Amino acid sequence: MQLPAPIRTYFQAQPPQDAEALAAAFAPDAVVHDEHRTHRGAEEILAWWQAAKAQYRHKAEPLDLTQAAGKTVVRARVSGDFPGSPTVLTFTFGLAGDRITDLEIR
């Protein structure tokens, strides 16, 4: 499966060494919706990502990619330190050029 470069970075990034690359994959005014919370801008998104990685020590393995309503939708098997692991989550990415503009995780 051929993931667009910023989405590939999102799934491959590991803290702490890849924090800068992860932040650069997002547009400066990007928005992330996850666990009923909204994170806006690179600083908040990076803090959210680092906290989630520290808390859940999770990894996500992309399973498939589709396009829907102008968005790139990736289903991924997510495993880590959380109840119900592993599970399959849907990551809906908005892209502009080589940056992620929005991401919703369900």
CATH of the domain at 46: 3.10.450.50
How high is the pLDDT of residue 35? 94
How high is the pLDDT of residue 3? 97
How high is the pLDDT of residue 46? 95
Tally helices (H) and strands (E) across the chain. 3, 6
Task: Give the total number of structural domains in the chain.
Answer: 1
Question: Which residues constitute the domain of residue 99?
Answer: 5-105
How high is the pLDDT of residue 33? 98
Angstrom distances, CA of residue 80 to CA of 13, 62, 76: 15, 15, 13
Structural contact between residues 62 and 54, judged by C-beta atoms closer than 8 angstroms: no
Residue closest to 53 by CA, chosen among 81, 29, 83, 26 = 81
pTM above 0.75, yes or no: yes
The runs of H, that is alpha helices, within the chain are: 5-12, 19-25, 41-56
Structural contact between residues 31 and 56, judged by C-beta atoms closer than 8 angstroms: no
Structural contact between residues 66 and 76, judged by C-beta atoms closer than 8 angstroms: no
- Which residues does the chain have with pLDDT short of 50? none
How high is the pLDDT of residue 72? 98
How high is the pLDDT of residue 26? 98
Structural contact between residues 25 and 10, judged by C-beta atoms closer than 8 angstroms: yes
How high is the pLDDT of residue 34? 97
